[in-house]
Structure 1
């Protein structure tokens, strides 16, 4: 692992990062994504990422959220509702629970997906993969009492 990546992971696991990042990273990602017509996500320089467009659980309006993802060999993606280790589940996870039909922007292409909350052994395996992929997820889980939600986004 390159030294810069180790430093980034250590910073990402801190409570200070958890307080600041949710207010800065998504807005920057959305702006750069829009300006580059879906071809660039700044956060994808660290981790692969998608822009998830899901229907708001309460509003019924489209909600666009930049997310780190774990691309799978079968063409699906695993997304982790870590909320940077903050107490509540991120809103996008509630949106997917109520409205699993969604869309991701992946490398400049819009792809319709269906979200499925992972449970049991499938969740356990995906969580192990997520921790190997991005170790700060362990620090996020250690800070919260809730079980971090994991979803598989499957192409429709």
Structure 2
């Protein structure tokens, strides 16, 4: 993983809007509240629970790569990947909301040069990813969300 942004220090976060509350406010306001969080852009990702089969909604920081969206399965550098990531490994068909727009997407993990390029893209907008990578021994997954063509 590249450390091009390693000179940027960990930025303290405003935690007043997180997780379920973040998702609820984002959805209720079509992203007017929650799309920008601590200076980063956020989306709502809905996966299918790998055990329950129920929809699971998670607010995530994202970066844009052309028409694709990039999300990082960091979980703040925890030893295990976040549940949303484990869910999309089992079922990569997801729903995304950005502001008021909702659409279906296909998720896939990247590696190699694409991993490094997209990690750097995401870390440019959220330098804390580099700090999270230093907290864990696992390779933090980089996931691309590609819009599913309308049928």
Q: Same fold (TM over 0.5)?
A: yes
Alignment match of 2:48 (pick from 35, 40, 55): 55
Instruction: Tell me the TM-score normalized by structure 1.
Output: 0.81
What is the CA deviation profile of residues 79-114 of structure 1, one whole-angstrom value per residue up to 9, with x for unaligned ones? Answer: 001101222100000111110011101121111100
What is the CA deviation profile of residues 47-96 of structure 1, one whole-angstrom value per residue up to 9, with x for unaligned ones? Answer: 111100111111111110100000222x2100001101222100000111
Q: Which runs of 5+ in 1 are unaligned?
A: 1-5
Alpha-carbon distance in structure 2 between the residues aligned to 1:110 and 1:80: 20
Shift of 1:27: 2.1
Does the aligned pair in 2 maintain the 1:29–1:43 contact within 8 Å?
A: no
Alpha-carbon distance in structure 1 between the residues aligned to 2:138 and 2:117: 18
Give the secondary-structure state (helix, strand or coil) at the position aligned to 1:146. coil
Alpha-carbon distance in structure 1 between the residues aligned to 2:33 and 2:110: 26
Alpha-carbon distance in structure 1 between the residues aligned to 2:120 and 2:64: 14
Alpha-carbon distance in structure 2 between the residues aligned to 1:24 and 1:106: 17
Alpha-carbon distance in structure 2 between the residues aligned to 1:43 and 1:142: 27
Higher share of residues assigned helix: 1
Question: Aligned residue for 1:64?
Answer: 57
Supply the RMSD in Å over aligned alpha carbons: 2.2
Say how many residue pairs are matched: 140
Does the aligned pair in 2 maintain the 1:48–1:71 contact within 8 Å?
A: no
Does the aligned pair in 1 maintain the 2:62–2:122 contact within 8 Å?
A: no
* Structure with larger RCO (C-alpha < 8 A, sep 6+): 2
Alpha-carbon distance in structure 2 between the residues aligned to 1:77 and 1:41: 20
Q: Which runs of 5+ in 2 are unaligned?
A: 1-7
